[in-house]
């Protein structure tokens, strides 16, 4: 029915195919049921049911009938009335099937109208205040899509996305000019009390001037501070994250003392000579994936091998009814089943230019291909068109490989720290937390000789 409504909207000559009674009942929608009230109209004017019986039919189609017996009586009366009136039996059954397929998914006209008003209002805001609108959407919890997709849409609208910053961010996302600063709330392990302390201290005494200034003014643990450093929240210092992590461990006690007022004297921290360290863009991207849930760069920058082409949504029209190979970052996959119970899937992806495009996998292909989680897929298929909308009918699809996470490479100075942390956690669980244990690197094998100890009986002879 949705397809037929679109056809009659686009091609006026097809409106003549509507049954005269249906056209007379619903002229605004070209003789097609669109609202829940249309079920009542059809039942009342076409099948001559009274309005109470027609409403029973409407509620029954929506799964809200009071009793199945009552609904079945109305159903029988619908067919009997159509016979008595002299309607064609095939036409009567067709209209009944339309009611059945339609009513469970329909809205009341007033409900639909309120959604339409809200849609137009949202569209106006997105058109004329795109960045403010996207920030408000993110702070409202988003909607159908993941936060990553709303962040991506904000970038497509001209925003510069900034990771959390101790001098600019808030708990929620905020906008400054064309820059959107992600909120501290995206850092799942950052405690609420830490967020509040940072914001209150900044409001009272002004922006932080350095890492040392931050440590002196904010009560924070080394674990919480490390989260902020890892996400590059101190980038205003123009000091590499690795160097800041070393400084933080030198200057901050693992269990900071609690104080309820500002310090009278500033504590002098240890100064240490730290070698020059450098964070690569790739390391930063994987850090963002771990802490935020998504990178601020394009996923295509993380591919192990460059795409074989740069085809995107803009190229689909030129390939109409032709085969095409496109790369897409998966946005959403919808799995459904045919009337025979066979699986088919609809996919939405982002192309290399950041534009959305859709795919469909019919049962013969869907039975051979399985999605392997989030990532970029190589999609090979035929470009098809319906109502001026182009999509890809998939023939084959494979997931593209990403570059290995460089943070866990043995030559990375942070790797040793991570392994040591894991080792300490293991020791604590095993009750060995008080002894020194040499860090065992992946390429080393440490053999520990443990002589057998004989147990002496506690019994006395």
Domain architecture of the chain: domains with CATH: 2-107 (no CATH), 129-289 (1.10.150), 313-399 (2.40.50.140)
Above pLDDT 70, what percent of the chain?
A: 82
Mean pLDDT along residues 60-70: 65
Residue 155: what pLDDT? 96
Which pLDDT band, with edges at 50, 70 and 90, does 456 fall under?
A: very low
Contact indicator for 31, 22 with CB cutoff of 8 Å: yes
pTM here? 0.78
Of 337, 319, 332, nearest to 359 by C-alpha is 332
Above pLDDT 90, what percent of the chain?
A: 52
Mean pLDDT along residues 231-237: 96
What b/e string do you get for 273-289 counting C-beta neighbours within 10 Å, with b at 16 or more?
A: eeeebebeebbbbbbbb
Q: Which residues contact 76 (CB under 8 A, 6 or more apart)?
A: none
Backbone angles phi, psi at 443, to 5 degrees: -90, 0
| CA dihedral for 119, 120, 121, 123, sign (positive or negative) | positive
Residue 316: what pLDDT? 96
Residue 414: what pLDDT? 59
Residue 418: what pLDDT? 60
Residue 436: what pLDDT? 39
Task: Give the pair of three-digit tokens for residue 335.
Answer: 């799995």
Contact indicator for 161, 151 with CB cutoff of 8 Å: yes
Lowest mean pLDDT among 60-64, 114-118, 190-194: 60-64
Task: Give the pair of three-digit tokens for residue 275.
Answer: 């070698």
Lowest mean pLDDT among 110-119, 185-194, 424-433: 424-433
Which pLDDT band, with edges at 50, 70 and 90, does 266 fall under?
A: low
Q: How far apart are CA 32 and CA 347, in angstroms?
A: 29
Statement: residue 430 has pLDDT above 90 = no
Where is 287: in which H helix or E strand? helix 281-292
Statement: residue 296 has pLDDT above 60 = yes
Contact indicator for 332, 325 with CB cutoff of 8 Å: no
Mean pLDDT along residues 233-248: 93
Mean pLDDT along residues 24-45: 87
Residue 275: what pLDDT? 74
Lowest mean pLDDT among 147-151, 271-275, 358-362, 451-455: 451-455
Backbone angles phi, psi at 345, to 5 degrees: -135, 145
Residue 444: what pLDDT? 43
Q: For the segment 104-127, what is each residue's pLDDT rounded down to a tens digit?
A: 567 788 888 999 999 999 999 999
Q: For the segment 126-147, what is each residue's pLDDT rounded down to a tens digit?
A: 999 999 999 999 999 888 899 9
Q: What is the mean pLDDT of the chain?
A: 84
Statement: residue 443 has pLDDT above 70 = no
Residue 272: what pLDDT? 64
Statement: residue 31 has pLDDT above 80 = yes
Statement: residue 459 has pLDDT above 50 = no
Contact indicator for 329, 350 with CB cutoff of 8 Å: yes
CA distances in angstroms from 329 to 206, 301, 312, 383, listed in the order given: 41, 12, 12, 18
Q: For the segment 304-360, what is each residue's pLDDT rounded down to a tens digit?
A: 999 999 999 999 999 999 999 999 999 999 999 988 899 999 999 999 999 999 999
Which pLDDT band, with edges at 50, 70 and 90, does 62 fall under?
A: low
Mean pLDDT along residues 36-51: 87
Contact indicator for 138, 150 with CB cutoff of 8 Å: yes
């Amino acid at each position: 029915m949705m397809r037929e409504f679109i056809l009659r909207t686009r091609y006026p000559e097809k409106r003549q195919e509507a049954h005269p009674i249906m056209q007379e009942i619903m002229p605004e929608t070209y003789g097609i049921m669109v609202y829940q009230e249309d079920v009542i109209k059809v039942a009342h004017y076409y099948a001559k049911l009274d309005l109470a019986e027609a409403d029973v039919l409407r509620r029954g189609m929506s799964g809200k009938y009071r009793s199945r017996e009552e609904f079945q009586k109305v159903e029988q009366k619908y067919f009997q009335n159509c016979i008595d009136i002299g309607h064609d039996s095939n036409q009567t059954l067709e209209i009944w099937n339309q009611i059945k397929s339609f009513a469970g998914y329909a809205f009341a006209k007033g409900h639909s109208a309120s959604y339409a008003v809200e849609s137009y209002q949202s569209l106006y805001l997105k058109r004329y205040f795109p960045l403010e609108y996207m920030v408000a959407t993110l702070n409202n919890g988003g909607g159908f899509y993941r936060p990553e997709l709303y962040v991506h849409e904000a970038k497509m609208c001209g925003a510069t996305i900034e990771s959390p910053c101790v001098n600019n961010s808030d708990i929620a996302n905020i906008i400054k000019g064309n820059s959107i600063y992600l909120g501290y709330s995206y850092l799942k392990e950052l405690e609420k009390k830490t967020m509040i302390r940072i914001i209150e201290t900044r409001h009272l005494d002004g922006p932080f001037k350095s890492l040392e200034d931050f440590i002196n003014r904010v009560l924070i643990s080394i674990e919480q501070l490390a989260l902020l450093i890892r996400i590059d929240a101190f980038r205003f210092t123009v000091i590499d994250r690795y160097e800041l992590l070393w400084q933080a461990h030198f200057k901050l006690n693992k269990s900071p003392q609690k104080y309820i007022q500002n310090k009278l004297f500033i504590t002098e921290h240890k100064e240490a000579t730290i070698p020059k360290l450098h964070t690569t863009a790739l390391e930063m991207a994987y850090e963002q994936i771990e802490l935020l849930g998504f990178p601020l760069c394009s996923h295509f920058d993380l591919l192990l091998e460059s795409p074989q082409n740069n085809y995107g949504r803009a190229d689909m029209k030129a390939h109409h009814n032709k085969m095409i190979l496109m790369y897409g970052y998966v946005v959403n996959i919808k799995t459904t089943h045919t009337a025979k119970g066979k699986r088919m899937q609809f996919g939405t992806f982002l192309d290399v230019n950041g534009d959305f495009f859709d795919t469909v996998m019919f049962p013969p292909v869907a039975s051979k291909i399985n999605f392997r989680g989030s990532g970029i897929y190589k999609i090979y298929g035929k470009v098809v068109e319906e109502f001026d909308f182009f999509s890809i009918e998939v023939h084959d699809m494979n997931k593209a490989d990403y570059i290995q996470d460089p943070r866990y490479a043995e030559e990375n100075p942070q790797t040793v720290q991570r392994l040591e942390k894991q080792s300490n956690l293991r020791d604590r669980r095993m009750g060995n937390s008080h002894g020194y244990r040499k860090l065992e690197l992946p390429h080393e094998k440490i053999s520990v000789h443990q002589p057998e100890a004989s147990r002496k009986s506690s019994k006395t002879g």
